[in-house]
Amino acid sequence: MKKMALRFTYPILFCALILMFYGGVDAAKNLQEKVSSSSSMDAEKKMKSAQIGLFTIDELLSFRVGTKLPIFFPIRNHSLYPPFLPQNLAKTIPFSTKEAAAVFDLFSVPPVSPEGEAFLGTLLTCEESVKGGNKICATSLDSMLGFLEKSFGPGVDFEFVTTTHPTITTPIFQSYTVLEAPSEIRSAKKVPCHPFPYFYAVYFCHSDPGYGTKAFKLRLAAESSGDEVEAVVVCHMDSKDLSSDHLVFRMLGIEKGSSFCHVFRQGDLVWIQKTSPLAAM
How much is the pTM? 0.77
Distance CA 171, CA 162 (A): 17
Q: Which helix (H) or strand (E) holds 226?
A: none
Q: Where are the alpha helices (DSSP H) in 193-274?
A: 247-252
**pLDDT tens-place string over residues 97-111:** 999 999 999 999 998
| The CA-based dihedral angle spanning residues 242, 243, 244, 250, taken in that order and rounded to the nearest 10 degrees | -80
Maximum separation of any 2 CA atoms in the chain, in Å = 52
**pLDDT tens-place string over residues 198-224:** 999 999 998 865 557 899 999 999 988
Q: What is the pLDDT of residue 276?
A: 43
Spans of the chain below 70 pLDDT: 1-51, 130-133, 208-211, 241-243, 275-281
Q: What is the pLDDT of residue 204?
A: 92
b/e for 5-24, b at 16 or more Cβ within 10 A?
Answer: bbbbbbbbbbbbbbbbbbbb
52 by DSSP, 3-state: which?
Answer: coil
Q: What is the pLDDT of residue 2?
A: 37
Distance CA 232, CA 199 (A): 26
Distance CA 13, CA 26 (A): 15
Q: Helix, strand, coil: what percent of the chain each, to 5?
A: 35, 25, 45
Q: How many domains does the chain have?
A: 1
Pairing of strands 213-222, 183-185: antiparallel
Domain housing 211: 2-280
